[in-house]
Each structure stands twice: as C-alpha cells, then as structure tokens.
A and B are shown apart, each in its own frame.
Chain A
Amino acid sequence: MNAITQKPLPAAAIAPTREAPPGIVVKDLALRYGQQTIFEHLNLEIHSGEFIALLGASGVGKSSLLKIIAGLATPSAGSVVGSDGLPLAGRIAYMGQQDLLYPWLTVRQNVTLGARLRGEKADEAWADHLLEQVGLAGRDNLLPAALSGGMRQRAAVARTLYERRPIVLMDEPFSALDALTRAKVQDLAAELLTDCTALLITHDPLEACRLGRHLIVLAGHPATLGEPITLDGLPPRAPDNPQVLQSQGRLLRILTELHQ
C-alpha cells in the first residue's frame, strides 16, 4: 500500500496555455486470474501534469495495470478515476508496445486516425503541425511499411498527440528501437508531453530516469508498488546528468535485488 504524497506543482507552472490536465487516482485495485492474484489493494495517485515511470520485471502486471487505467481491461476490484473525481474515459491516449500503425493507411491518415474512427473531419492543420514536430513533414503520404522503426514510432507519437488528450499512457513504446533512435524519440516525447499527465511503463532504467518525475517499481507476487524515487529538473534529462546516472544505478540495484 503505497501512495505518492507529493504536492502537485501549481498548474501554471506546467501548462501556462491551457487548463491543467487531470491526475489519476487508482484506488484499492485488484486483479486476479482464477487462483492467481496479480496484485491487490494497489493504490497510486498521479498528480496533474506529472510524468511517472513504472518499472518492474516482465509478467509482474505492469501492462495489465496500464490497460485497466486505459479502460481496456476490467479489474477484479477497485477503481480508477481522474483527480477531479470524473471517469477517465475519453481523456486518455494510449501508446502500446508496438507502434500499431494501420498498414493500409498513410502516415497522415494514421496520425488523424482518431477523427476517421469517430467519423469526424480530420484537423489537417493540426496534423501538419504534429508531422512537422516529429520530423515526418515530407513523408506524410507514405505507407508505414516504407518507414524505418524510428520514423514509425515518431508517427505513433504524432498520432497520440493528435488526440489532444490530457492523459497519456505508454507501454514500453520505445523498447524496439536502437539506442540512438530511442534517445531521440524520448527527447521528442518528453518535449511534446510536457502539458500532459503521463504514465510510462519501461524496462529501461535509463529511460525512466531521463523522462520520469517519479519512478516507481512494481514487484512481487502479488505485486506491490515500491517507494517512489523522485528526480528534479525538467525531462528529457541528459543521459550523463549525475542525477540520472545515480538514480539509474539505484534503480538497477533495486530491480536486481527484487529479482532474487
């Protein structure tokens, strides 16, 4: 039973131009498959505009937790609501482990996918802006098959941002990229997600330390949340930032100890 009791930053400091995004309140959450309890009595509060990185071994239930928050899976008990007390449905953008670009749509059509699925007219100006920002401006008419892994992931970032959702959930979105591309896409994501409440699942302590404000480890059977590690400074932090290096070492140690 752990909760982050960090005071939220004043809204103005996070998003001077728009309304503060809602936080996430996970209350007494449990997930069971038959006899097996993945986790129970899980409590987590993510404050408005914070970037949380969630780490843990494979199979510990990180992705299940994220899917429950995203409304894609049903918990056995407990609830997830916004910090304003309202449900999160319709306020969440989700990035999965794969880029999940639809192969029959062009890059631009993939970015504006939400509009297509809701039967709305696509906001082409907004799509142009996002494509520009992720560096795919000249490639908007290509099919995903013609893109490299890094470009595909950047297109997925643009698609996520197109939704203008205040909360963004990410399930190891960058794990399939090579180190250099990953660093670039991380920088991009960190810059573009500054106005959002974000929860990132990752295997990679360096990624967690570069992007997260609070780092939390999910471990054990049934799984519990560890004490959060808090980092100062705005992400993306430099990979050779002493704080990043130190936290990374500490995280790795925690993870290996937990693993034994």
Chain B
Amino acid sequence: MNSLQRGIRPLIIFAGLLLIWYGVTLTGVPNYLLPTPFTVAKALWTGREYLGYHFLVTLSEIALGLLCGLALGMVLALTMMFSPRLQQWLMPVLIISQAIPVFALAPLLVLWLGFGMASKIVMATLIIFFPVTASFFDGLRRTEPGWLELAKTMNAGGLAELRHVRLMAALPSFGSGLRVAAAVAPIGAIIGEWVGSSSGLGYVMLNANARVQTEVCFAALFLLALMAIVLVQLVDISVRKLLYWVPDSSKTY
C-alpha cells in the first residue's frame, strides 16, 4: 500500500499542477504569455522531430559533462588524499574556481571553444566536479581509524587498504556528491546553450522566446524537466544499489 502510494504520488502532483495551470489559462491570460496545456501538448507533438533532435543534443552534453565531471572530481579527490602537500595548493584553486560564477565564464568558454558541444560539456564539468571532489575527498579522509588499524594488523598493503577500506568507506559521501552533481548537471549545459549555440533545448527556448512561440518554449522546458527528473532518479537508484549496505534511512524521494 505504501509503495503504491509512493508510486502514484508524483502522478497526482503532476496532474494537480496541470489542473492549476489550466485553471489559470481560463482566467483570460493571453496565449502568448501562458499557453494552455493542450497547446503545449500539440506543440510537443507537431515539433517532435525538431524537439527530439535538440533533446538528444542537450542530453549528450549533460551525460558527457557528468562523466567528465565525475572523472575529474574523483581524480582530484584521490590526488589530494595521497598528497597532503598538493592538497594545500589545490584546495584554494578549487575554491576560487567555484567563486567565479559559471554564468560569467560562459561567454569566455563559448569564445574559446566555439558554439558546439565542447563549451557546454566544459561548463557542465565545471559545475559538476566540485561537489564530487568535495564530498569524495571528505569521505576518503574520514575513514574510521579502527578499520584502518585493523587492516594494518592484518598486513594489508597500501593498494588493498585503498581498494577494500578507504574507497568503500568513502562511498556514502561519494553518493551524496553524485546526487548533487546529477541535480546541477543540466544547469551548466543550458547556460552554455543560452550564451551561444546552434542546437540544444536551451537554444530552442531562446529561439522560441524571440519569436513569441511560447508554447514551444514550454514544450522544451517540459522536456528539460523530464530529463532532469529521470536523471536524478536514475542516479538515486544506482547510488542505492552501490550502497546496499547502508541502512535506508535517507529516502528523499
């Protein structure tokens, strides 16, 4: 019963939001400001090929950004764990990299890397790597000392200690970093597309907005939200699989 409720709840919320939206359009708001759900559905259907193509572009930007961000974040965290001296030099740089708003960097990245996907992937990577680095590093540093001592009395080598103790013990922290990364990943790609691009959902929205095709803008927004939700859910499921041994007290969805 409970799991059934959990499964139905998002649908009810979605239907409720649609109803409210439809109710507002009935009050006489002009269509170019707020299209009805039906107009948007129609726009989704008639523009399916066009929207589908741009959906895939944004999706690949986000996916590649996520992969690069994860790889960079993990490498940085491991590097800092192995070399405390390097960590003292790296940490300030990382913090500075986060102090500069990505919005401000976006035009530069587009200037340097062009209108194509590269600038968007770099943007997404820049946003994603930091939560991964910070949380993973934190997890690696906070291994229960007793576990390490035990491993030492059992004559564990450095690599075995890393593989069987530190990495495993850092997984819960890594998981929370991964969740944050998945949630912020679309931001980087979309900002990049807004600043300068010839494809992607951000480009579609900007274009439709300029032509007052509000329903297309909404359709793109809907697809983007759908993508973000599915991404977060997928990551959540994989994190839970990865952390099969952590008591499930932190169910957020």
Residue of B nearest to A70 (CB): B153
Question: How long is the Cα–Cα vector from A19 to B28 in the complex, in angstroms?
Answer: 95
Residues of B within 8 A of A102 (CB): 147, 164-165, 168
Q: Is B232 an interface residue (CB 8 A)?
A: no
Residue of B nearest to A115 (CB): B154
Residues of A within 8 A of B118 (CB): none
Q: Is A141 an interface residue (CB 8 A)?
A: no
Q: Is A149 an interface residue (CB 8 A)?
A: no
Residue of B nearest to A169 (CB): B153
Instruction: Give residues of chain A (114-132) contacting chain B, Cβ–Cβ below 8 Å.
Output: 114, 116-119
- Whether the pair B153, A100 counts as a contact (CB closer than 8 A) is no
- Whether the pair A117, B161 counts as a contact (CB closer than 8 A) is yes
Instruction: Count contacts on B: residues with CB < 8 A to the other chain.
Output: 22
Instruction: Count contacts on A: residues with CB < 8 A to the other chain.
Output: 24
Residues of B within 8 A of A2 (CB): none
Closest beta carbon of chain B to A95's beta carbon, Å? 9
Q: In the A-B complex, list the 3 residue pairs whose CB atoms are closest, starting with the nearest.
A: A117-B156, A114-B154, A104-B245
- Whether the pair B147, A117 counts as a contact (CB closer than 8 A) is no
- Whether the pair B168, A98 counts as a contact (CB closer than 8 A) is no
Residues of B within 8 A of A114 (CB): 154-155
Question: How long is the Cα–Cα vector from A96 to B151 in the complex, in angstroms?
Answer: 12
B152-183: CB near A (< 8 Å → 1, else 0) gives: 11111100110011001001000000000000
Question: How long is the Cα–Cα vector from A102 to B147 in the complex, in angstroms?
Answer: 7
- Whether the pair A116, B164 counts as a contact (CB closer than 8 A) is yes
- Whether the pair B149, A94 counts as a contact (CB closer than 8 A) is yes
A62-102: CB near B (< 8 Å → 1, else 0) gives: 00000100111000000000000000001011101110101
Interface hub of B144, B154, B161 (most chain A Cβ within 10 A): B154
- Whether the pair A98, B146 counts as a contact (CB closer than 8 A) is yes
Q: Is B247 an interface residue (CB 8 A)?
A: yes
Residue of A nearest to B246 (CB): A103
Closest beta carbon of chain A to B165's beta carbon, Å? 7
A124-165: CB near B (< 8 Å → 1, else 0) gives: 000000000000000000010100000000000000000100
Q: Is B96 an interface residue (CB 8 A)?
A: no
Question: How long is the Cα–Cα vector from A113 to B168 in the complex, in angstroms?
Answer: 14
- Whether the pair B147, A92 counts as a contact (CB closer than 8 A) is no
Question: How long is the Cα–Cα vector from A233 to B151 in the complex, in angstroms?
Answer: 35
Instruction: Give residues of chain B (39-75) contacting chain A, Cβ–Cβ below 8 Å.
Output: none
Residue of B nearest to A92 (CB): B153
Residues of B within 8 A of A163 (CB): 154
Question: How long is the Cα–Cα vector from A103 to B147 in the complex, in angstroms?
Answer: 10
Q: Known contacts being A98-B146, A117-B160, is A145 close to B154, with CB within 8 Å? A: no
- Whether the pair B245, A94 counts as a contact (CB closer than 8 A) is no
- Whether the pair B168, A118 counts as a contact (CB closer than 8 A) is no
- Whether the pair A94, B247 counts as a contact (CB closer than 8 A) is no
* Other-chain residue from B153, B155, B160, B246 in contact with A72 (beta carbon distance below 8 A): B153
Residues of A within 8 A of B245 (CB): 103-104, 143, 145
